[in-house]
Chains A and B, each alone.
Chain A
Amino acid sequence: MAIDQKLADDLKSQGVHVTSFEGIINWGRSSSLWPLQFGLACCAIEMIAATMAKYDMARFGAEVFRPSPRQADLMIVAGTVTKKMAPQVVRLYNQMAEPKYVIAMGACAISGGPFKDGYNVLKGVDRFIPVDISIPGCPPRPEALLHGLLALREKISKEKLMGPHRARHADPKGTAERPVPEFGAHDLEPTFNPDVWKPTAVVRDPNTQ
């Protein structure tokens, strides 16, 4: 049931806060995101800078970097994901408890970035785990990471806990675990998880190609 906004505002001026169960749950979740403490490359340095006094990620409740995936609910993939590292990243993701969110920080985590032609570089962490927010940049400045965090907070605050469009973690059929790729003779096996990522058909103009 929707809340009458005018009535809610009236009550608010009287010191009574009316909200929905969903609203207060999402408010709690979005206001204290605990990131998993790990970094893969130079983006991690910007991530560290974002937590320090000058940028102060604590303003948004996300300063408590957890050394254990069991205590974390936000994975900031900060840096190049090598194919050798990809199974460990997926395993860490699997070990995180729901609800969990993933920020792909920087060009490398999004697509492989400047190293995408490399023989050991995964062309985007979204090939194996679902990514909520992508922050472009090489590396993104701390402000960009904070913007991404705010975008994630906004996304969480709009999550549905019930109904057909409910969030994955509220859906009994939603899966929290993704298969960990194996090391193959020439490449990871499989090279991507088709449940998470499918190559999008790009419409190309034959005259310009």
Chain B
Amino acid sequence: MTPDLPTILTRLQATLPAAAVAHRRNPGPSGQDSLLVAPEHLVAACRFLRDTPDLDFDLLTNVTGVDWPDPAKADAVAVPVEETPPPRGGFLEVVYQLFSTSRRAGPLVLRARTEDRQTRVKIPSVVEVYRSAEFQEREIYDLFGVVFTGHPDLRRILMWDEFEDHPMRKDYVAPDDYEYEPTPHDAVLEKAKPHYPAAP
């Protein structure tokens, strides 16, 4: 029997006191709570979760990113472990889903946040603990612009190398190629309207 999330949180705190920041609740139907981890302790936390025999989270299936321009939304359901984290601007979040194949447990969801969305966007790479993170971290770097320090080969993976934007960010502005829209509606209609010929 794998310990539940509060137990894992307690044990993580006992080993790495500064690692866990908040227990983020998920009020949705899945009820999949997650742990907010301080980025500087992320790799150590992953190693702890992988190498502790009765936890044995040996498989990282999924790494994904979230862009939070409005931090109030991100923290709406988070329960801080200690004092309330200071208010700040938006940030990028990386979400890790750990499973234990030996104990058939999971997912254990870890989250780590960058300091802001513009320049301080570094998160330590977990590739040294979970090799499966390599391509997924490249994808998050490509689409969200999170810089994974210590990643062995941090390049764009989907977009071309000369590309400068990060398309999955909320403030990404897609190129305006709506010149020819014979049947526009909804969002496309709004984008096509500037290309309409002037009224005679």
Closest-by-CB residue of A relative to B165 is A186
Chain B residue nearest in CB terms to A200? B180
How many A-B residue pairs have C-beta atoms within 8 angstroms? Tell me.
49
Residues 127-185 of B at the A interface (beta carbon under 8 Å): 158-165, 167, 172, 174-175, 177, 179-182
- CB of B141 to closest CB in A, whole Å: 16
Which residue of the partner chain A has the closest CB to B178?
A123
A160 to chain B, nearest CB (A): 29
Tally of B interface residues using CB under 8 Å: 24
Q: Mark B47-86, 1 if CB is under 8 A from A, else 0.
A: 0000000000000000000000000000000000000000
B188 CB-CB contact with A under 8 Å = yes
| B195 beta carbon closer than 8 Å to chain A | yes
Chain B residues with Cβ below 8 Å from A117 are 174, 187-188
**Which chain A residues border B164 with CB–CB below 8 Å?**
185-186
Using CB atoms and an 8 Å cutoff, list the residues of chain B in contact with chain A.
158-165, 167, 172, 174-175, 177, 179-182, 187-189, 195-197, 199
- Would you mind naming 12 contact pairs between A and B with Cβ atoms under 8 Å apart? A83-B160, A116-B188, A117-B187, A119-B165, A123-B180, A184-B162, A185-B163, A186-B175, A187-B175, A199-B195, A200-B182, A209-B189
Using CB atoms and an 8 Å cutoff, list the residues of chain A in contact with chain B: 83-84, 116-117, 119-120, 123, 183-187, 191-192, 199-202, 204, 206, 209
